[in-house]
Amino acid sequence: MSETMVLEGKVVLVTGGAGALGKAIALALARQGARVVVNDPGVTLSGEAQSGSAAQQVVDEIVAAGGEALADTGSIADAAAATSLVESALKTYGRLDAVVNTAGILRDAIFHKLSADDFDAVLKVHLYGTFYVSRAAAAHFRDQGGGSFVHMTSTAGLIGSIGQANYAAAKMGIVGLSRSIAMDMQRFGVRSNCIAPHAFGRMIESVPGLTPQAQEAYLEKRRNSTRADQVAPLVVFLCSDAATEVTGQIFGARGNEIYLYSQPRPVRTLHRGEGWEAESLAQTLLPAFRSSFTPLERTKDVFGWEAV
């Protein structure tokens, strides 16, 4: 365990805590003194059940290193299971100080082939699951007079991705949810922030639009340059008392880089005293705004430098 443990005495709940990113975060939280509730139903990236308890394996690793942890295998896509998860943390440890929402699945498809079921399944885990767990913890945080939410968003939504309309919609929904939580609960000392991680893990292993050879080359590079353990310190910081003034923000973590995302604000304005018609807009809006339009870039177009 670390000599200086910034989360000593705190209890932190991590959803998706057995995935590559969630596990790295859970282990980092434990090393910093937190008692960790590891939630993971133990399913594949596409949602199929797996044998054994992946959550318990992470708990065993934490305990072996001298920490305290609790396993939970409920599905956060179910409101009752999410509520039970929070209640279990409170019953076992008597408190809850932070919630880290990392759980997720993928159902990638080009938009005109995206089924309603696959759209719904992804939103259920990512967006609804984040809401269910956060809502269950919110009342406790209010009564306690403080708490921290850390939610995982994605550049798939913030910037753009091909074949992931469901995932992008869910991740942008989480941004709006986090901002609203931050504003609604600021008076109670409760914080809410997002992280868009560039970290090798299950969410990266499915890359739409690449040949098997190109995908393997891409994955090999990502394994070495964007690791889950490089995201974990930012999560620890946001869960700690050192981040009490930080709320409503969107961070990125990529290799050894940490950055802050801008959030939507007007960039150009047009005013016409007599109002607008479609014809006058066509004549005026395009030449005035064209140079300020956001191009249809993908994440790789925006991050043109290598992560180190």
Q: Which of the four pLDDT bands, split at 50, 70 and 90, describes residue 306?
A: confident
pLDDT at position 105 over 60: yes
Which single residue is written with the structure tokens 């080009």? Answer: 110
Please tell me the least confidently modeled range out of 12-21, 75-84, 137-146, 223-232: 223-232
Report the pLDDT value the prediction gives residue 204, as an integer from 0 to 100.
53
Supply the residues annotated as catalytic. Answer: 167
Q: At what angle do helices 165-185 and 129-144 cross, to 10 degrees?
A: 10
Name the packing angle between helices 116-123 and 165-185 (round to 10°).
30
User: What is the DSSP code (8-state) at residue 248?
Assistant: S
Task: Report pLDDT for 304.
Answer: 85
> Is it the case that residue 64 has pLDDT exceeding 50?
yes
In whole numbers, what is the pLDDT of the chain averaged over residues? Answer: 92
Give the pLDDT of residue 163.
96
Window from 127-136, 137-146, 264-273, 297-306 with minimum mean pLDDT: 297-306
Which spans in the chain are helix H? 20-31, 54-64, 79-93, 116-123, 129-144, 155-158, 165-185, 202-205, 212-225, 232-239, 278-289, 299-302
Residue 36, exposed/middle/buried by CB under 10 A (0-12, 13-18, 19+)?
A: buried
Please give the pLDDT value at position 211. Answer: 74
Structural domains of the chain, with CATH: 11-260 (3.40.50.720)
Q: What is the pLDDT of residue 115?
A: 98
288 close to 280: Cβ distance less than 8 angstroms: no
Residue 152, beta-bridge partner list: 195
Pull the structure tokens for residue 263: 């959030």
* Helix pair angle (54-64, 20-31), 10° resolution: 30
- The closest of 35, 183, 24, 33 to 102, measured between CA atoms, is 24
| Across 245-254, average pLDDT | 97
Q: Report the C-alpha gap between 16 and 170 in whole angstroms.
A: 16
What is the per-residue pLDDT across 169-180, written as a single tens digit (0 to 9) for each?
Answer: 999 999 999 999
Higher per-residue confidence, 178 vs 44: 178
Most confident of 47-56, 89-98, 223-232: 89-98
